[in-house]
Amino acid sequence: MPEQRSALASVYKPGRVGVYDGPAQVVLFERANRTLVQVSGWPGSFRELCRKLETLLACRMPEDGLKAISQGQRSIFRVGPERLWVAGPSDDDLLMRFDGAALGEEAVVTEIGHSRTIVRAAGAEARTLLNRGLPIDLDFTAFPVDAFAQSVIHHMPVLVHRVGDSDFDVYVARDYAVSFWEWLTGAARSLGCQISGPE
């Protein structure tokens, strides 16, 4: 597989953002070493496909488009009625496990990691930052760990996944990555933001 180049390379500058005194309340960084695989099926055979995936991945599949299933460094999202996203470390070798022999004709497997940029927003004010553009209640009681939503931030389509008490991963289409990053870092200026090196 060709090396994946960051869509943010031209605008990514680690360091403090804004003039806020005191410790950073938000930490932002790109999750560059991730892969994303889409597995699509058909209405009549999707349950059987999910059973095969459960065997291959040794975990259950998500039942709806509201909560991901996470296991270690891997997360599985149901992003459509018969469509799953499987995200994991770039060395996870997901495509080799999802070959035709393992899943059969019930699945269409597509590596889509090159089409998305993943940004982690972490820290005490991460929720405040995202809610400056996201029209979804990210309070922990309404949006607990592993909750995810497909929505828009500042008119850009995103998938937002809560990965910890105050940590969120945002998946944004590569075409919007620079615009999203510029909006995100601009909105973080008043919160005390640290941009870390890519993970």
154: left (phi over 0), alpha (psi -120 to 50) or beta: left
- Domains in the chain and their CATH numbers? 15-32+115-195 (3.30.1360.120), 34-113 (3.30.70.1520)
Strand, coil or helix: 13: coil
pLDDT digits (tens, 9 = 90+) for 36-50: 999 999 999 999 999
Q: State how far the Cα of 189 lies from the Cα of 191, in Å rounded to an integer.
A: 6
pLDDT higher than threshold 80 for residue 186: yes
Confidence label for 23 from pLDDT (cuts 50, 70 and 90): confident
Strand, coil or helix: 140: coil
Stronger pLDDT, 132 or 95, i.e. the higher one: 132
The reported pLDDT for the residue numbered 104 is 78
